[in-house]
Amino acid sequence: MQTFEAFIDSTHPDAPVRGYLHRPPDPAADCLILTHGAGVNCQAPLLVALADAFCAAGITVLRCDLPFRQARPSGPPPRGAAERDQGGLRAAVEAMRRMNPRHVFLGGHSYGGRQASILAASDPRIADALLLLSYPLHPPKQPAQLRTAHFPSLQVPALFVHGVRDGFATSAEMESALSLIPARTEILSVVGAGHELMTKTNRDNLIAQVTNRFAAFTHPTA
């Protein structure tokens, strides 16, 4: 059984890090920081399941609440929250780097993944790779409002996990958008899944797919 502990780092008063730390036996293992979408927090079942699985595979995982969620227990991020939320992710990376991991990976679901990708586009040294779950390519039924302005600046390798029934992007739209990214990218398509990705029927298979694919993506064999 995997265990976790509450984690708080207040060295960044404008963007403290708050969440849960999953520790494998090796303290110098790779580290993955995961955060949540706009409507939930770091206790989202998808994040908990992934954190447990990655930890079982030997990776330290921090699943953390973005600053907007620390400030309000429910509701979407307010207008203008993105920059502070990116600052919160930067603070989380800095906190984890003090543990001297071999590599630091950054990612999240929907809004959280989008903020991670924007941060990485502005600072390619922030992480060694990205895990982007249900990237919200555009608002539902508004395909012209693409959220790809930063894609041509993204130099960090990124694995996108996409539900083929996701209303925020079709599979074809995702493939087209990823052609804008100069870094190495891959898409893991999840058949039958929507924006939430995980369901009662696909849970075990999905978690295994994501953890195995990300391991292969971040440590490709020669």
Instruction: Please count the other Cβ atoms lying within 10 Å of the Cβ belonging to residue 94.
Output: 15
DSSP string, 75-92: SPPPTT-HHHHHHHHHHH
Q: What is the pTM of this model?
A: 0.95
pLDDT digits (tens, 9 = 90+) for 3-61: 678 898 888 888 889 999 999 988 778 999 999 999 999 999 999 999 999 999 999 99
pLDDT digits (tens, 9 = 90+) for 138-173: 999 999 999 999 999 999 999 999 999 999 999 999
Q: Is 52 left (phi over 0), alpha (psi -120 to 50) or beta?
A: alpha
User: At 32, which helix (H) or strand (E)?
Assistant: strand 31-35
> Is domain 5-218 classified as CATH 3.40.190.10?
no
Residue spans per domain, the chain:
5-218
